[in-house]
Amino acid sequence: MDLVETKLMEVARDAESNGTALDIAPDLTTRVAALANGHPHLLQLLGSHIIEHEQSDPDGVLDYRDLMGALRRICYEDRARVYDSTLHLLEVEGKREYLDAILTRMAWVFPSRIDKTLAVEIVGKEAVHWLVEHDILSPRSEEEYGLMDEFVRVRILLDQAESEEEARRLEEGIVEGEVQNRQVIDEEYDDELEETGFEDEE
């Protein structure tokens, strides 16, 4: 939070010294920190691209519009090879369906979190171990897993969009923290597990 806020404030002061008013939208720093989940490289990338997006298409405020542009550039340009390789590995190893099953059970907020016991119930210990071993899931506490890189989830969400309009709505939801929650009610959970066919592979 401090890193992002300091960098954005420096840019705003530099702009002011050059005779240009530049505001920072409320909660922008909070959203950047949540999306990057404290990952230093992702924080720096987001901060830099937010500023570059404003410079290339200025409207006098660093805001969610700039954050959306930064996300798209990171996911499909700067780190496209990283995410292409990660998704390819998941497909080749037959683990993509396991990650997708876990993602659909996560609350649609960032940073991503899922109860460890629930993750094992959904896909089994062996699959969870593989996802952790390959730096896709990351233990965040004694009770929860998170994602090593939150932008893997962003990339998957945007890839699933069936139109540019849907992708735009998803981007807006992601940056505003208002992506629709796909929670399944408790009564349906047992049926859902049966349909996935995922069982512990030990």
Per-residue pLDDT reduced to its tens digit, 127-186: 999 999 999 999 999 999 999 999 999 999 899 888 888 888 888 888 877 654 433 333
Are 90 and 99 in contact by the 8 Å Cβ rule? The answer is yes
Q: With 50 as the cut, is the pLDDT of residue 94 above it?
A: yes
Q: What is the pLDDT of residue 181?
A: 40
The domain segmentation of the chain, as residue ranges, is 2-78, 82-196
Higher pLDDT, 176 or 84: 84
Q: Write the DSSP assignment of 113-160 as a string of letters.
A: -EEHHHHHHHH-HHHHHHHHHTTSEEE-SSSEEEES-HHHHHHHHHHH
Residue 27 DSSP code: T
Q: What is the pLDDT of residue 202?
A: 43
Residues with Cβ within 8 Å of 152's Cβ and at least 6 positions away in sequence, in order, are 83, 86, 87, 136
Q: With 80 as the cut, is the pLDDT of residue 119 above it?
A: yes
Neighbours of 97 (CB within 10 A): 15
pLDDT tens-digit map of 24-81? 988 898 889 889 887 888 888 898 999 999 888 889 999 989 999 999 999 999 999 9
Q: What is the pLDDT of residue 195?
A: 52
> Please, what is the angle between helix 96-105 and helix 150-160, to 10°?
100
Q: What is the pLDDT of residue 12?
A: 87
Mean pLDDT of 80-106: 95
Please state the pTM of the whole predicted model. 0.80
Q: What is the pLDDT of residue 194?
A: 52
Residue 32 and residue 9: Cα distance in Å, rounded? 14
Q: What is the pLDDT of residue 107?
A: 78
Q: What is the pLDDT of residue 186?
A: 35
Are 50 and 67 in contact by the 8 Å Cβ rule? The answer is yes
Residues with Cβ within 8 Å of 99's Cβ and at least 6 positions away in sequence, in order, are 90, 131, 136
Q: What is the pLDDT of residue 97?
A: 96
Residue 37 and residue 40: Cα distance in Å, rounded? 9
Residue 80 and residue 91: Cα distance in Å, rounded? 16
Sign of the dihedral through C-alpha 89, 92, 93, 96 = positive
Q: What is the pLDDT of residue 137?
A: 96
